[in-house]
Amino acid sequence: MIELLDLEKNFYEIKAVNRVSLNIADGEVFGLIGTNGAGKSTLLRIISGVIKPDKGIALVDNRPIYDNPDVKKDIFYISDEQYFLPNATPEEMADYYNDIYDTFDKSRFYKMCEGFNLDHKRKISTFSKGMKKQVSILLGLCAGTKYLLCDETFDGLDPVVRQAVKSLFAAEMADRGLTPVIASHNLRELEDICDHVGLLHEGGVILSQDIENMKLSMQKVQCVFANEEDEKKALEGLEVLIHDRRGRLNTITIRGERETIEDAFKRGNPVFFEVLSLSLEEIFISETEVVGYDIRKFILN
């Protein structure tokens, strides 16, 4: 298990990570989502032991991470801006990681490169962005580590390769208990692979929740009321996060269980109402708007 308690990290006057506390359980896909500059990449670098937090505790299986080679052997970090040795080929990178990780499987790496149509003797500098990302992912999987930290894993991958990578993650989780931690802006990709999601904003954690429970705990209602009195009755006692009106049509995002919301609206006797499930992207927008990250701020009038 990865345990983070009250982590803080500052870069001069910028607070990149602000009192972050998270638990990442073994054997699940944990998604890190957040606004731009929320601290996702910094948090992954702390977990991987690349940088030291200014305050707080970061543990992997009850062991401190930073400056601890034994712990780092259980972690492989794929950064958004990948680094390869100058003029290196995939074969040479496999040799490099084979010296670092006792569990690295070179023969499997070559076989997987063949499956992904990657020439392991060709210089990586001549590869496309997506091909470079594939090399990083295959190196990470073949390292055989318990934890795989991925920053924007699916960025630059075509749909077929994205699906193949997801299938590989699932197989590794089933076969040897791999725990992927994925930071991404592509919420639609995370939605169908993640078990748990942590939402960051301005360096802090807004929420950390099982993705299915998260969807069950927030609903979107489209409705029409005959008058303001009926609307007031329907919304009384409900936690309304967002309320948009377009003519007579109301679109309301409400925190709560579906049955509770349906009962409340029936009490208000609306002309029409429909309760809809939210996507992860809609939940992200709703939760961040509550803390002031509103799309309307970015639209010039």
All structural domains of the chain with their residue ranges: 2-209, 217-298
Residue that has been written with the tokens 């690349």 in this structure: 50
DSSP alpha helix (H) spans, 143-279: 159-176, 187-191, 211-216, 228-235, 258-268
Contact 156, 140 (CB under 8 A): no
pLDDT > 70? residue 300: no
Q: Give me the residue label for tokens 């290196």.
A: 88
Which amino acid belongs to residue 20?
A: V
* Helix H or strand E encompassing 287: helix 280-290
What was the pLDDT predicted at 301? 46
Query: At residue 190, what are phi and psi to the nearest 5 degrees?
Result: -70, -30
Mean pLDDT of 87-108: 95
Q: Which fold has domain 2-209?
A: Rossmann fold (3.40.50)
Is residue 292's pLDDT more than 60?
A: no
pLDDT tens sequence across 108-140: 999 999 999 999 999 999 999 999 999 999 999
The whole-number pLDDT of residue 290 equals 61
> Where does residue 12 fall: left (phi above 0), alpha (psi -120 to 50 degrees), or beta otherwise?
left
pTM (2 d.p.) = 0.84
pLDDT tens sequence across 197-250: 888 877 778 778 888 888 888 899 999 999 999 999 999 999 998 899 999 999
Give the residues across from 274 on adjacent strands: 222
Judge whether 288 and 264 are in contact, CB under 8 Å.
Answer: no
Encoded amino acid at 75, one letter:
I
CATH 3.30.70.1710, domain 217-298, yes or no: yes
Measured CA to CA, the distance from residue 301 to residue 294 in angstroms comes to 14
Give the H/E segment covering residue 92. Answer: helix 90-100
pLDDT at 297 over 70: no
